[in-house]
Amino acid sequence: MSGTKYMPASEGKFLEWSDNLITVSTDNATAWNLPQDKLAELRPLHNEARRLYDLCQTSSYTKLDMQAKHEKMARLIHLEEVFVRNNLQNNDAMTNNGREALRIPIYDTKPTPHPAPQTIPDIVIETPLPRMVRIKFRAVGAKRWAKPQYVHGLECLWVISEKAPAKIEELLRSSFATRSPLELSFDEDERGKRLYFAVRWENSTVNKGPWSDIAFAIIP
């Protein structure tokens, strides 16, 4: 599991940290002038990540459960990194005691705003193994598989369908990767089906770039 240094490395410890972050922030939202809409987004995502984590500790989970857990964990890490950076680390309404209760570092500098990405990711699709689709991504014109400056990661919406989706809103599943490649794993009975997807950049302050065209790959 990857995340900012102050976040615990193990998934179980991270979920405990996340629960504390959300609970303490919610209890002090008014005093600290925290955005209610951002907090409301974190709790259900945390609960779903916890449910999938607990399920994957049993013998009854599937590969899709494991993939869904990785997706939810990655999304939760990203949103909580952004929440801490934008709303907590330089919040003048907070004290350092509050930051210690949240188990976050104490910073002295103000965050630098970054512009929304303007380009579409350059991607290459690979099917290196049965039941896996790999999406390699990089900045347009780059020689290495790396993100543009100020970009935090790649958002991917996707769906398995016999019919090509007509619009982005028909891509019902979401995945996120902070490093190339993004790997999607599938069950045996999904082999040979069409995977439709679209991708875009997201920067460190959750500003999003334009969507790519909807593309497809055959699940090997």
On whether both 205 and 168 belong to a single domain, the answer is yes
pLDDT at 136: 96
Type and span of the H or E element at 81 = helix 63-83
Q: What percent of the chain has pLDDT over 90?
A: 76
Tell me the per-residue pLDDT of 190-214, one tens digit each, with 9 for 90 and over.
Answer: 999 999 999 999 987 778 999 999 9
CB-based contact 185:134 (threshold 8 Å)? no
Q: Is the pLDDT of residue 82 over 80?
A: yes
pLDDT at 53: 95
Instruction: Report the candidate in 185, 6, 172 with the shortest Cα–Cα distance to residue 99.
Output: 6
On whether both 64 and 127 belong to a single domain, the answer is no
On whether both 133 and 212 belong to a single domain, the answer is yes
On whether both 126 and 214 belong to a single domain, the answer is yes
d(CA 25, CA 87): 10
Within a domain: 62:
yes
The CATH number of the domain holding residue 178 is: 2.60.40.10
pLDDT at 68: 93
- Mean pLDDT, to the nearest integer, of 166-188? 92
Of 67, 102, 137, which one is at a domain's C-terminal end?
102
Q: What percent of the chain has pLDDT over 70?
A: 95
Tell me the per-residue pLDDT of 41-67, one tens digit each, with 9 for 90 and over.
Answer: 999 999 999 999 999 999 999 999 999
Give the domain extent around 53: 11-102
pLDDT at 111: 55
On whether both 74 and 18 belong to a single domain, the answer is yes
* Torsion sign, CA atoms 59, 60, 63, 65: negative
Tell me the per-residue pLDDT of 125-150, one tens digit each, with 9 for 90 and over.
Answer: 999 999 999 999 999 989 899 899 88
Residues 6+ apart with CB under 8 A from 182: 134, 135, 137, 154, 156, 175, 176
